[in-house]
Amino acid sequence: MTVAPSGPEFPIQDIPFSYRGSWFDVSPVIAEKTYADDLHLVSHQTGLHAVLRLTPAGSDTTVVATPTLLTWRDGTGRIEAAYAGPDTLRLRGRRLGLRIAAAAPTLTPFSGTYLYLDPLDGSHVFTSYETGRRYRVTVLSGALRQTAGAEALGTADRFLDLPGDQPWEVAIEEYETARPPYAAPVDFDRLHRDRSAEFAAFLDAVAPWRGADTPAADLAAYVLWSATVAPAGFVTRPAVLMSKHWMDKVWSWDHCFNAIALASGEPELAWHQFQLPFDHQDAAGALPDSVTHSEVLHNYVKPPIHGWALRHLRRRLSAPPDRAALAQTYDRLARWTGFWLDARRAPGQDLPHYQHGNDSGWDNATTFDGGRVLQTADLAAFLVSQLRCLADLATELGEPAGRWSAEADRIRAAMLRDLWDGARFTARDPRTGRRRASRSLLDLMPVTLGADLPAPVAAALARGVEAHLTTHGLATEPPDSADYLADGYWRGPIWAPSTVLVEDGLRRAGHTALADEVSRRFLALCEKSGFAENFDAETGAGLRDRAYTWTASGYLLLAAAQEQRRATGG
């Protein structure tokens, strides 16, 4: 019965088992930082909701997960699961039973899961109030041993038991209201081979350079592949969620790193990643804070790294956008930049401001300890990059470019005049003019301007960056700071986006040895600790959400560049 798995094994506690295009996964993670004893079918439509609990009958069951096959083992007993498509999971068992149960035992008019036997085809259907979807279980071979809770209301156990004394196979489908009875188009082994071929093709596309020196590339590719969902709800395009754990959204700067990492091998998917938040741009030109299936939030924004990202994206795209797509992107980027220049720049001020740390993406960085409404050097630097990008796009499209270049020069000059203290950048309250220094890595982010900085400033920033470099990478707050917290979010831990941005800026400013060291340490960190949301700067342990796509993308970007330098001797 058992088929040979393809791809790397991974811990199911850290990384969910899922499939490109699917809105559900199989995982023990059933809420933020909440882990169940058993695996669950977890849907991400209308939020994260554990719908079905999958409990094997064995007393000493272990789980082995690979990109295309999930296996429960207990002695000689096996249960295997593979995706038959984005909305269908196939499971088969031999010498091991399985209970498929509603995750919540209570059904009310406004919550819970209802179970009934469908007289149309004899299947059993769980209807979830939380997701607004049905989960149909069709027996393909064997027979159910027991059912309980069909048509029950209130508190009741609702489950289907599959036997351990005879082989069985079932399909579980997620759908809205109705569909034809399920008929298996291919057998399980063929299904698994097809999924394996699909993942192998994706892996070859996004990481053709991988080898012994980049041992985490396969798993990084899987994290991206498995976190991709089909268009649904407010998600207007195929989208890579930040995670199929609780960080199941697209935030309006996270998406840039995924787009760049996918660009060379999956250009269409990469372009969709870049454009998705712009589909929800508001009348002021602002991008949303985040987008997910059933929610678009505009309570905050995210930093304007999109000009920086678009340059990198276009250099990597194997299929460049046509003129119409480029013109639309120019208009969207211009409106996004206009938001910062018009709605976030106080009268008489040259520099725009954040209203909260969340706007920067560095929510609780120590930069914001002295006040939340601040002009910061990272914001100014990102806008300079974006304005330069707009000037280049305008020239390419035959539009006037001078206004963009002039504005870039104005903001760059103001950044150096108003925020530079001779050693590092400070933050400034636009209402009082009061300046404040911190020890956050955020204050060093203008290094992303590379050669667009005066050489002495770039050199001082490089020295500052080096002071943040621990054994495992760039701490967002240095460990010797009084404000350092090991699991302090942006007050210490290592993050992928800051690493990628700093590494790129150092390299373009000519500080290649330091850039190489930043890259090397981050790659080693991911190879040791996986693709967590962030990492303990002193121990390297993964923190928070453990299957974060921009971390996987950061690994792929830095690993690809490392392999290219090795190949070219650069």
Average pLDDT over residues 372-399: 98
Average pLDDT over residues 182-187: 94
pLDDT-based confidence at residue 7 (cuts at 50, 70, 90): confident
Residue in this structure with the two tokens 């406004």, named with its chain if needed: 110
User: Exposed/middle/buried for 416, CB within 10 Å: 0-12, 13-18, 19+?
Assistant: middle
- Return the pLDDT at 308: 98
pLDDT score of 5 more than 70? no
Cα–Cα distances in Å, from 508 out to 34, 330, 462, 504, 515?
42, 24, 12, 6, 9
pLDDT score of 519 more than 80? yes
Residue in this structure with the two tokens 């630097």, named with its chain if needed: 381
Measured from the Cβ of residue 179, the count of other Cβ atoms closer than 10 Å reads 11
- Return the pLDDT at 385: 98
Domain match, 532 and 392 both: yes
pLDDT-based confidence at residue 501 (cuts at 50, 70, 90): very high
For residue 405 the two structure tokens come to 């270049």
Is residue 239 in some structural domain? yes
- Return the pLDDT at 6: 64
Domain match, 147 and 49 both: yes
Alpha-carbon distance of 527 to 264, in angstroms, equals 23
Q: Per residue in 323-334, pLDDT tens? A: 999 999 999 999
Pick from 239-248, 317-326, 468-477: least confident: 317-326
Is residue 189 in some structural domain? no
Is residue 484 in some structural domain? yes
Q: Per residue in 196-236, pLDDT tens? A: 999 999 999 999 999 999 999 999 999 999 999 999 999 99
Domain match, 158 and 61 both: yes
Q: Which contiguous run of DSSP H or E holds residue 274?
A: helix 267-275
pLDDT score of 128 more than 70? yes
Average pLDDT over the chain, rounded to whole?
96
pLDDT score of 1 more than 50? no
pLDDT-based confidence at residue 336 (cuts at 50, 70, 90): very high
Is residue 197 in some structural domain? no
pLDDT score of 539 more than 50? yes
The enclosing domain of 56 has a CATH number of 2.70.98.10
Give the percent of the chain with pLDDT over 90: 96
413 neighbors 451 (Cβ within 8 angstroms): no
Alpha-carbon distance of 275 to 237, in angstroms, equals 9
- Return the pLDDT at 570: 74
Domain match, 239 and 134 both: no
Alpha-carbon distance of 166 to 141, in angstroms, equals 10
Average pLDDT over residues 1-14: 75
pLDDT score of 79 more than 90? yes
- Return the pLDDT at 59: 84
320 neighbors 264 (Cβ within 8 angstroms): no
Question: What DSSP string describes 369-414?
Answer: TT-SSBB-HHHHHHHHHHHHHHHHHHHHHT---HHHHHHHHHHHHH
pLDDT score of 3 more than 70? no
Is residue 69 in some structural domain? yes
Q: Where in 200-297 does DSSP place strands (E)?
A: 228-229, 239-240, 250-251, 290-292, 295-297
Average pLDDT over residues 41-49: 97
Is residue 191 in some structural domain? no
Alpha-carbon distance of 70 to 68, in angstroms, equals 7
Domain match, 224 and 283 both: yes
Nearest of 476, 472, 570, 483 to residue 520 by alpha carbon: 472
For residue 562 the two structure tokens come to 């490392």
Average pLDDT over residues 25-32: 97
Pick from 121-130, 317-326, 516-525: least confident: 317-326
Is residue 481 in some structural domain? yes
- Return the pLDDT at 58: 85
- Taking only Cα atoms into account, the Rg of the chain, rounded to an integer number of angstroms, comes to 25
Q: Per residue in 439-450, pLDDT tens? A: 999 999 999 999
Domain match, 234 and 137 both: no
As a residue count, the chain comes to 570
Average pLDDT over residues 280-306: 98
- Return the pLDDT at 560: 98
Structural domain tally of the chain?
A: 2
- Return the pLDDT at 569: 85
Domain match, 178 and 211 both: no
Alpha-carbon distance of 151 to 148, in angstroms, equals 9
Ordered alpha helix ranges (H), 430-511:
455-467, 496-508
Between the two ends of the chain, the Cα-to-Cα distance in Å is 50
Q: Which domain holds residue 255?
A: 207-563
Q: Per residue in 542-561, pLDDT tens? A: 999 999 999 999 999 999 99
- Single pTM value for the model: 0.97
Domain match, 320 and 442 both: yes
Average pLDDT over residues 454-461: 97
Is residue 199 in some structural domain? no
Measured from the Cβ of residue 67, the count of other Cβ atoms closer than 10 Å reads 29
The enclosing domain of 512 has a CATH number of 1.50.10.10
Domain match, 238 and 176 both: no
Average pLDDT over residues 397-420: 98
Domain match, 150 and 251 both: no
